[in-house]
A and B are shown apart, each in its own frame.
Chain A
């Protein structure tokens, strides 16, 4: 009986250790707060070009993370990208004329949506949309434009014989 008791105790400790490991993986390693995504209110923003923006990318205001991107769709009529943002409920005082731009953290970092607060007294609600948007900087286009400018700059003025 003594050995059986010890054996059962060891198995119990093993199971508890295993569950504790999963508890740690859930609470400390992954972001369990992300599961409550339905609590945030949703607003949309239309961009000409979202670049490399991905779903789940952070939404920040003043560098503070206040929500995340929950959907990226294409409007088939206007060919604009419609980005749905989920904003945490405690940040419910975003003016309706706030602006959104797609920024990059660092040179090679991930892209995120940065909000700039406007000055209106009315605040965005669930289903609202941001009017002032600035698209992502697409590096290839930028370089292309730079090269064109450089090429046209290098051209000597009309020769006078």
Chain B
């Protein structure tokens, strides 16, 4: 009984300890942003590895999610003779929720895990220590470019995911199932609002998710136990924690933007 309580206390303290370290890490990361302005090439290189290389999985997933939405929406709406509002269903689900959330989850699996593993391995092979020996700040040289590139890439990926998803929905609905093309787009345009849905939905959500996903990914790498087991644990934690935090934050943001 006492031992159980003690274990609970230890776990709680450990958790808060980590949260505190992660916050300090973020502050140091933001402090290193000024130095980054002098080396924009570093961001471009990271944009390639987290952004460009994530494009295929984002594009394919977006296409399939959009096509599934088209099929499922049609199957449900056809009973009410309301297939003309299929465009609204596909666009609103993608713009408000599925676009930013699924793009963030895919990003965590594709790019976040790679970031953690890369930084963790740098730590294990003492590259970070070597940099410090040479008076190179790893925050400015390694962590900040990766973080900034990820935060820039996330909204772009979410936008691409959403746009391709809507095109996928259009393909299934109009080309395959025979929904009227004019009704598909006009009903969508009547229902989707630029500021309330597109800006708040895709842009704000994906910037928040990008911030959180990259913060977790870079911190887990930095905080990893420098052994092969530690790195594998850290990589797993990146994906799991990002997924949980993104889904929880999505609920909060949806309640703020679209609730009530």
Chain B 136-169, CB-CB to A under 8 Å as 1, else 0, gives: 0000000000000000010111011011101000
Interface membership of B202, Cβ < 8 A: yes
Contact of A31 among B44, B51, B192 (CB under 8 A): B192
Chain B residues closer than 8 Å to A11, beta-carbon distance = 44, 47-48, 51-52
A7 adjacent to chain B (CB < 8 Å)? yes
Which chain A residues lie closer than 8 Å to B80 at the CB level?
Answer: 108
Q: What class of interface size applies to chain B in its complex with A?
A: 20 to 34
Q: Is the CB of B55 within 8 A of A30?
A: no
Chain A CB within 8 A of B198 CB: yes
Contact A14 B44, CB 8 Å, known A25-B159, A29-B192 = no
Question: In the complex the two chains form, what is the Cα distance from A11 to B152 in whole Å?
Answer: 11
Judge whether B55 and A29 touch: CB under 8 Å: no
Q: Beyond A25-B163, A29-B91, is A7–B44 a contact (Cβ under 8 Å)?
A: yes
Contacts of B194 in A (CB 8 A): 26, 30-32, 34-35
What is the chain A residue whose CB lies nearest that of B160? Answer: A21
Please tell me if the beta carbons of B193 and A24 are within 8 angstroms of each other in the complex. no
Find chain B residues with CB under 8 A from A141 CB: none
Apart from A8-B44, A24-B163, A29-B163, list 4 A-B contacts with CB within 8 A: A14-B48, A14-B153, A25-B159, A29-B189
Among candidates A15, A30, A56, A58, residue contacting B156 with C-beta atoms closer than 8 Å = A15
Segment 48-91 of A: residues with Cβ below 8 Å from B: 56, 58
Which of A7, A30, A31, A32 makes the CB contact (< 8 A) with B48?
A7
The verdict on A123 contacting chain B, using a C-beta distance below 8 Å, is no
Chain A residue nearest to B188 (CB atoms) is A29
Closest 3 A/B residue pairs (Cβ): A18-B156, A21-B163, A21-B159
> Counting chain B CB atoms within 10 Å of each CB, which of A8, A21, A32, A56 scores highest?
A21
Chain A positions within 8 Å of B55 at CB level? 14, 17
Chain B 36-71, CB-CB to A under 8 Å as 1, else 0, gives 000000001101100110010000000000000000
Main secondary structure of the interface of A (DSSP, over half): helix
Task: List B contacts of A56 (CB < 8 A).
Answer: 193
Interface size bucket, A side? 20 to 34
Q: Specify the chain A residue showing the minimal Cβ separation from B159.
A: A21
**A28 at the binding interface (Cβ < 8 Å):** yes
Instruction: Please classify the interface of chain B as helix (H, G, I), strand (E, B), loop, or mixed, using the class held by over half of its residues.
Output: helix
Q: Does A10 contact B (CB under 8 A)?
A: yes
Chain B: minimal CB distance from A19 (Å): 8
The interface bits of chain B over 185-221 (1 if a CB of A lies within 8 angstroms of the residue's CB, else 0) are 1001110111101100011000000000000000000
B95 within 8 A of A: yes
Nearest residue (CB) in A for B49 is A7
Are A29 and B156 interface neighbours, CB within 8 A?
no
Contacts of B197 in A (CB 8 A): 30
Question: A11-B51, A30-B198, A31-B193 given as contacts; is B95 within 8 A of A25 (CB)?
Answer: yes
Report Cα–Cα, A17/B160, bound state, in Å: 7
- Chain A residues positioned under 8 Å from B192 (CB to CB): 29-31
Per the 8 Å Cβ criterion, residues 69-93 of B in contact with A are 80, 91
Task: State the CA gap A56–B166 with chains docked (Å).
Answer: 24
Whether the Cβ atoms of A10 and B52 lie closer than 8 Å is yes
Q: Is the CB of A28 within 8 A of B157?
A: no
Question: Which A residues lie within 8 Å of B164 (CB)?
Answer: 21
Q: In the bound complex, what is the Cα–Cα distance between A17 and B192 (angstroms)? A: 22
